[in-house]
Amino acid sequence: MDLTGVFVPMITPFDASGAVTYSVLENLAREMLEAGVSGLVALGTTGEPSSLTADEQRGVLEVLARVCRDRGAPLISGVASPGADAVLSLVPPFVRPGPEGVVAHFTALAETSAVPLVVYHVPARTGQALDAATLRRIGALDRVIGVKYATGALDADVVALLADPPPGFAVLSGDDVFLSPLLALGATGGILASAHLATERFVALHRAWQDGDPATARKLTHELSPLSAALFAEPNPAVVKAVLHARGRIPTAAVRLPLLPASAAALDRAQRLIPTARISTVSDL
């Protein structure tokens, strides 16, 4: 499975009654793929999986698996499930088992998983930091194909990891604002909730680094980084949903508890940072 490019962790849209609206999810997913993203992520944090029932989770997975299958695009799932091409697997949270425990955990998962694993490294949520050497050990395991790197910083460990990654091990930016510097250092792409908006530009940013066009990449970075920061100014995906609703792309901006809807100020700021002109190629910039 190729982990190159922009992957969008899909929101879960709700209608006025609070129910999941699967037709809107399908349309949104098709829009993402038509805009050039490489693949989708189902039931990641952005999809509010912990607030969905088991039936709702199955429904979301069925929709996104069908859309990806129709387009020949990969689907990564936040939960093990039929139809997914890989599973996004969180570093064990809360218990903080230490590096050796984390390596043992992923060794056991890799031995039993039916599909490849993408490690989700987000210390702010798990309480478990991992250095570059530990991530290399995990990345060398059979069936571990990459990491969503979301430490909240452009730190020395990711620089070291990208300087010498295990063969076939992809590093994906999990912090949207750090997409460009990580691509410059050798990351293969990103898992980006921000790419629900200005999707073509995020795709063009990745392509610019791949094509060795730093001038275009820098221009897009300066345009998109403030947007990403604004979309994450309040707990994700509240602001993303608010903007999508304001632009008529989903029926409501609703999120489920414990999340709260985005504030009017956050919505206004994000709206003002969205590029107005659509692009289809880098030459349109």
Query: So which residues are the catalytic ones?
Result: 120, 148
DSSP codes, the chain: ----EEEEE----B-TTS-B-HHHHHHHHHHHHHTT-SEEEESSGGG-GGGS-HHHHHHHHHHHHHHHHHHT--EEESS--TT-SEEEEEPPPSS--HHHHHHHHHHHHHHH-SS-EEEEE-HHHHS----HHHHHHHHTSTTEEEEEE--SS--HHHHHHHHSPPTT-EEEE-SGGGHHHHHHHT--EEE-GGGGSSHHHHHHHHHHHHTT-HHHHHHHHHHHHHHHHHHTSSSTTHHHHHHHHHTTSSS-----TT--PPPHHHHHHHHHHS-SS--SSGGG-
